[in-house]
Chains A and B, each alone.
Chain A
Amino acid sequence: MLLREVEYAKPGAVAEALQLLAANEGARALAGGQTLVNVMKARAASPDMLVDLNGLEELRGIELAGDGTLTIGAMTTYTELMRSAEAKARPILGEVCATIADVQVRNRGTIGGNVCSNDPTNHLPPLMVAIGARMTIAGADGEREVPAEDFFLGVYLTAVGPGELLTRISIPAGKKDGFAAVTLGAEGTCICNAAATVNGAVRIALGCVDAVPVVVTADSAGGVADAVRAANLTPPSDVHASSEYRTHLAAVLATRAAEEAAAR
């Protein structure tokens, strides 16, 4: 509780938000705030200014193109994703969102906020990497697109640089996806997770085992466990899991996610 002093701005357009972020070195974008506000309560981070993105209609909405590509505004909430008819084109999205935290958090937390915080225990970073999402980042010089694989740079660190904003995420068509996780209790803090997509070969992205999602590929679900072992993971140890246990879970969960994907 009890944040440090902070300035607050609520821009009405993305361009204005970008200006505010560029002009104030200590400014941070405030999306759903379901992570950032908690970090600020702990005073582990204390931005000088919060640029509230909640007034930016440009960043909301889900569109489904004729080729099956989904374009999701960064400020789309988990609940919106779960309920969207368009988002059903890639069913795994809504399914995973339904297991994030709880109703209240899902009502406010956003897909953009989730990936931009890149907490290694979040579900969406590995999912985005596995299904080949592409992130559009806006800055003073216009927009650029970054594949999810290159988007996540480190713990709490992404390709979104100072003065920039993630504006939307595009996701290619596909249905054969899977996801598996071990959490503290049902839908609690994540210990290890794995997202898989099958498109001929199997593509896995593992979460909680490194600072960024780790990609592993295999010819079939049956080869996933060996592929994970061959990746020589060195996950961190913490109070919930040792490095050894996480390494083990990674192989098990990757296989389960791959099997789920293959079975669709």
Chain B
Amino acid sequence: MSETTLAPAPVEVQKGWGGQSVKRKEDKRLLQGEGVFVDDVKRHGMGYLHFVRSPYAHAHITRIDVSAAEAIDGVYGTLTGEEVAALTDPFFQISSAPGANIKDYALAVGKVRYVGEPVVAVVAETRELARDASELVEVDYEALPALVDARRAQDSDAPVLHEDAGGNLMWTGLYSWGDFDAALAEADRVVKIPELHFHRFNSTPLECDGALVEYNRGVGQWTIHTNNQFPGFAAIMMGPAMRTGLDKLRFVTQDIGGGFGNKITSHPQLVVCCLLARKLNRPVQWTEWRTDFHLSMSHGNERWFHDTEVAVKDDGTLLGFRTKALDDAGAWLRYEPLGGVIWAQVTPGMYRWRHIELDFTQVATNKAPVSPNRGYSRMQHLWFTERVIDIVARELDLDPVDVRKRNYIRAEDMPYETPNGCVYDSGDYAATLDLALQLIGYDSLAGRRADAEARGKRLGVGIGSTLDSGTNNFGQSQLINPELQFSGNNEVATVKLDIFGEIVVTLGTTPQGQGHETTAAQVVADILSCSPDDVHVRAGHDSYWNSHAGFSGTYASQFAVTGLSAVKGATEMLAAEIKKLAGAVFGGVPAEALELADGGVRIKDNPDAFLPFMACGAIINANNAGLPEDLDVTLNCRYVYRPPFEVPDVERKFGNLTLTYAVQIHVAVVEVDPETGSYEIVDYAAVDDCGKRINPQIVEGQVMGATAQALGAAVHETYEYDEDGNLLTPNFYDYHVPHALDMPPLATGAIESPSPFTPLGTKGMGEGGGAGIHAICAAIQDATGQIVTDSHNPYQRVWELMQQ
């Protein structure tokens, strides 16, 4: 059902463990039900937290009475917005004005702004009792009109969510590179697209958010067992708000049941847990249920593109585009407005046009707050560029394959500087497309088209070509707000040799299924000349391990670059120390004369002079008398990898925003039932180029997962609201994610264009850019003969297209 094809081009085979599909070290515990996920963590005397949530999309809170709830036997206590406002400061805002002026607390204060917003927290002896008591909390609301359509947000009569911001505009910025007016003058044609819409959905990790928080009153420190996937960010948000130092916030995770970006912005709920753990002097446990998650957590950015103009030559050469992007942030800026710049990592998509103007506006609406979702903000923009390509091809009556190949950035132009100063590191887009077309059998499609028609179906083929930009330069945040003091990136690993010679690795990351324990072990094994089985990579994350930095976490397609480079750096330090130690033990042998092999270190031309790792560990840790005084060896090495970045030019909005660009080219074949608009994806090919692959099987797994999520989003998944701001798809019954029977046959392929900018030649990957969404939209356009203007195409929309 799925096949992998390697590019016919020669692929350099790596020696050693890197490049091999080593079986995952994580699996054994997970297959036996012995993983530790956040809801598995228990503590004596813990209380269960349940949130009272707003039934209104927009309302003043006029009264809260928790007395009936608190009077119940077994209820430990409550927390209200009023208490939160007294005990904490509003969360730091990333935005410049007007978004900077909003006041965001961990619970609603004075007003609610979306259905499902946490208003009061109740803690009780059992989960059931906490929910029972929450029903006794009395909250009086004075309903206000709701704003659900971002396009109405700036109307003079629009309801205003945040009076402090003076309106619903949160952030706006004009991006302009090249000379679009000159492009218009040079163009043979200008293709105009009045409106395109990228819909609201997210990745719905199967495990929802949660935490167990303990407070150590004596030292004023919280231990936060949580599945937050970016503790570095959570700490930066929580510490100042809670008026505490970051070292008082200890984040601990082991296994995380999927994240996909959706578990970055749980800091408000974590603050509530912390405050209650302190107030009630007992551990507080919070588990978010599925409906809670759908109502309130981390929707993907909904985006409109208005008044798009594309300057093209008659032969399909693209000169540039101009558009207005309108982004719906929902009720709060929890990670926003970073989406207002993140898209710019892939400004031209995969194409050579040089004249680009994009007017970005982000507004608040009475819907759940948005935050990163697999492909964050780039996916929206890449969907736009891919739609533009296919619409241009249709308007000019050109083959979408030809238009792509004519305009793709060429392999010989790599590294390629984009109009806004990003540097695409490597890749051969045309060759990648060719492999995808070969996998799908593009040349035999005419016959399949006829066959489908004979069965009363219409066949459609579509291409999605995207980039997964990875390893952020956080300096791009300064394009949003020049006051911000963030730039660059970092990640940390420690590698040590323990007393009995065990190799122990700690990571700063918070993996959610990406196999970090395995790939880290592969990198270590190659450097120390041992087996990955000999390398113990600690599961999960603990900020007390001293192996985290400001940007530690698992997000934004970067582990293969930041995480593994940190592992590489730390392991090389350890290898050097082992040689230094051995050199001293052997009586002054220089490092060059030594080599690591067979689980130890030896003198190259005297194999009998061998010191096993066990001896090294024992000597340094427990048997160190008599070692030279100046021997600077601990066998416990910490390395911080810092990618090479400059601070972008804020004035020109110019600079390198990400280090690596993995390539995805997908081709979908659909069969549409013209009578009902329902359709089936009957064939699918996905080719990925993420540079060197440390573990090809894990890479392919990420490609598959990203594909499945894109297909779900393209066909079924959507967060739809009614005009009163009620979410109409609050669970898996109405929010249909793909099931096994929904999946098409899949052929995967791989090309390896090593990144010249990373220590291992790797590129971040895993997000996938949403290539599947683009491929499906293009296939629907092909099958129906109508221009597709929405990223979400449920059966009814397709049926409506066919009525046109």
Chain B residue contacts of A59, Cβ below 8 A: none
**Please, how many residues of chain A have a CB less than 8 angstroms from a CB on the other chain?**
26
B314 at the interface (CB under 8 A from A): no
Interface contact B734-A239, CB-CB below 8 Å = yes
Judge whether B716 and A184 touch: CB under 8 Å. Answer: yes
Q: Which of A177-217 contact B (CB under 8 A)?
A: 182, 184-189, 191
Interface assignment of A3: CB less than 8 Å from any CB of chain B: yes
B360 within 8 A of A: no
B649 at the interface (CB under 8 A from A): no
Contact A238 B728 (CB under 8 A): yes
A189 interface neighbour in B675, B677, B736, Cβ under 8 Å: B736
CB-defined A-B contacts under 8 Å, sample of 30: A2-B128, A3-B128, A4-B132, A5-B128, A5-B132, A42-B291, A43-B131, A182-B676, A182-B795, A185-B716, A185-B736, A185-B738, A185-B741, A185-B742, A186-B739, A187-B739, A187-B741, A189-B734, A189-B736, A238-B728, A239-B728, A239-B729, A239-B734, A240-B734, A240-B794, A245-B677, A245-B796, A252-B675, A252-B676, A253-B676
**A253 to B678, alpha carbons, bound, how many Å?**
12
Q: How far is the CB of A21 from chain B (nearest CB, A)?
A: 25
How close is B264's CB to chain A, nearest CB, in angstroms? 24
Contact A188 B736, CB 8 Å, known A42-B291, A182-B678, A239-B728? yes
In the complex, residue of chain A having the shortest beta-carbon distance to the beta carbon of B803: A248
Asked if A234 is at the interface of the complex by the 8 Å CB criterion, the answer is no
Instruction: Flag whether B26 is at the interface (Cβ < 8 A).
Output: no
Q: Is there a chain B Cβ closer than 8 Å to A249's Cβ?
A: yes
A43, A238, A248: the one contacting B799 at CB < 8 Å is A248
Do the beta carbons of B736 and A245 come within 8 Å of each other? no
Q: Of all chain A residues, which has the CB nearest B292?
A: A1
Residues from chain A with Cβ under 8 Å of B132 in the complex: 4-5
Query: Closest residue to A42 on the B side, CB-wise?
Result: B291
Minimum CB–CB distance from B231 to chain A (whole Å) comes to 27
> Closest residue of chain B to A239, judged by CB?
B728
Q: Does B720 contact A (CB under 8 A)?
A: yes
Report which B residues bind A (CB closer than 8 A): 127-128, 131-132, 135, 289, 291, 675-678, 715-716, 720, 728-729, 733-734, 736, 738-739, 741-742, 794-796, 799-800
Residues of chain A within 8 A (CB-CB) of B675 are 252
Q: Which A residues lie within 8 Å of B799 (CB)? A: 245, 248
CA distance A184 to B676 in the complex (A): 13
7 closest A-B pairs (Cβ-Cβ)?
A186-B741, A239-B728, A184-B736, A185-B742, A2-B131, A245-B796, A252-B675
Check: A242 CB closer than 8 A to any chain B CB. Answer: yes
A241 contacts the other chain (Cβ, under 8 Å)? Answer: yes
Interface residues of A in 241-264 (CB under 8 A from B): 241-242, 245, 248-249, 252-253
Contact of A185 among B677, B728, B739, B800 (CB under 8 A): B739
A219 to B380, CA, bound (A): 52
- Min CB–CB distance B744 → chain A (angstroms): 11
A2→B50 CA distance, assembly (Å): 11
Question: Smallest CB–CB gap between B386 and chain A, Å?
Answer: 24
Report the nearest A residue to B126, measured CB to CB. Answer: A2
- Could you say which residues of chain A place their CB within 8 Å of the CB of B739? 102, 185-188
Considering the chains assembled together, what is the distance between the CA atoms of A169 and B173 in angstroms?
A: 66
Q: Which chain A residues lie closer than 8 Å to B795 at the CB level? A: 182, 191
Tell me the nearest residue of chain A to B718, going by C-beta: A239
Question: What residues on B are CB-neighbors of A2 within 8 Å?
Answer: 127-128, 131
Residues from chain B with Cβ under 8 Å of A42 in the complex: 291
| Residues of chain A within 8 A of B678, CB atoms compared | 182
Which chain B positions have C-beta within 8 A of A188? 716, 736, 739
Complex: A1 Cα to B733 Cα, angstroms: 15
Q: How far is the CB of A208 from chain B (nearest CB, A)?
A: 13
| A38-74 near B? 1/0 per residue, CB < 8 Å | 0000110000000000000000000000000000000
Contacting residues, chain B, for A238 (C-beta < 8 A):
728
A167 vs B433: C-alpha distance when bound (angstroms): 61
Which chain A residue shows the least CB distance to B739? A185
Chain A residues near B728 (CB, 8 Å)?
238-239
Say how far A185's CB is from chain B's closest CB, in angstroms.
5
Q: Which residues of A contact B135 (CB under 8 A)?
A: 43
B residues less than 8 Å from A185 (CB atoms): 715-716, 736, 738-739, 741-742
Give the Cβ gap from A229 to chain B, nearest Cβ, in Å. Answer: 14
Cβ of A5: which chain B residues have Cβ within 8 Å of it? 128, 132
Query: What residue of chain A has the Cβ atom nearest to residue B678's Cβ?
Result: A182
CB proximity of B286 to chain A, nearest CB, Å: 13
Contacts of A253 on B, CB cut-off 8 Å? 676
Residue of B nearest to A1 (CB): B289
B709 shortest CB reach to chain A, Å: 14
Asked if residues B796 and A242 are in contact (CB atoms below 8 Å), the reply is yes
Residue of A nearest to B720 (CB): A239
Provide the bound-state CA to CA distance between A253 and B677, in Å: 12
A47 to B738, CA, bound (A): 33
Q: Tell me how far the C-beta of A240 lies from the nearest C-beta in chain B, rounded to whole angstroms.
A: 7
List of A residues within 8 angstroms of B291 by Cβ: 42
Contact residues in A for B716 (Cβ distance below 8 Å): 184-185, 188
Residues of chain B within 8 A of A184, CB atoms compared: 716, 736
User: What distance in Å separates the Cβ of A175 from its nearest Cβ neighbour in chain B?
Assistant: 26
A33 CB to nearest chain B CB (Å): 16
Docked CA distance A143–B548 (Å): 71
Shortest distance in angstroms between B607's beta carbon and chain A's nearest beta carbon? 60
Per the bound structure, the CA–CA distance linking A240 and B671 in Å amounts to 20
Q: Which residues 1-32 of A have a CB within 8 angstroms of B?
A: 1-5
When distances are taken between beta carbons in the complex, the residues of chain B under 8 Å from A241 are 796
Which B residues are CB-close (under 8 A) to A102? 739
Q: Which residue of A lies closest to B797 (CB)?
A: A245
Question: In the complex, A186 Cα to B715 Cα: how many Å?
Answer: 12
Report B-chain residues with C-beta under 8 Å of the C-beta of A187.
Answer: 739, 741
Q: How far is the CA of A5 from the CA of B716 in the complex (A)?
A: 36
A173 and B127 CA atoms in complex are apart in Å by: 51
In the bound complex, what is the Cα–Cα distance between A185 and B742 (angstroms)? 6
Residues on A with beta carbons closer than 8 Å to the beta carbon of B800: 245
- Of the listed residues A1, A238, A253, the one surrounded by the most CB atoms of chain B closer than 10 A to its CB is A1
Question: How distant is the Cα of A185 from the Cα of B720 in the complex, in angstroms?
Answer: 18
Rounded to whole angstroms, the CA-CA distance of A191 and B741 in the bound complex is 18
Bound together, the chains give a CA A4 to CA B800 distance in angstroms of 44
B733 x A189 contact (CB < 8 A): yes
With the chains together, A166 CA to B72 CA distance in Å? 40
A-B contacts besides A3-B128, A185-B715, A188-B716, 10 pairs, CB < 8 Å: A5-B132, A184-B736, A185-B742, A188-B739, A189-B736, A191-B795, A238-B728, A239-B729, A245-B800, A248-B799
- Give every chain A residue within 8 A of B738 (Cβ-Cβ): 185
B734 to chain A: which residues have CB within 8 Å? 189, 239-240
Chain B residue with minimal CB distance to A184? B736
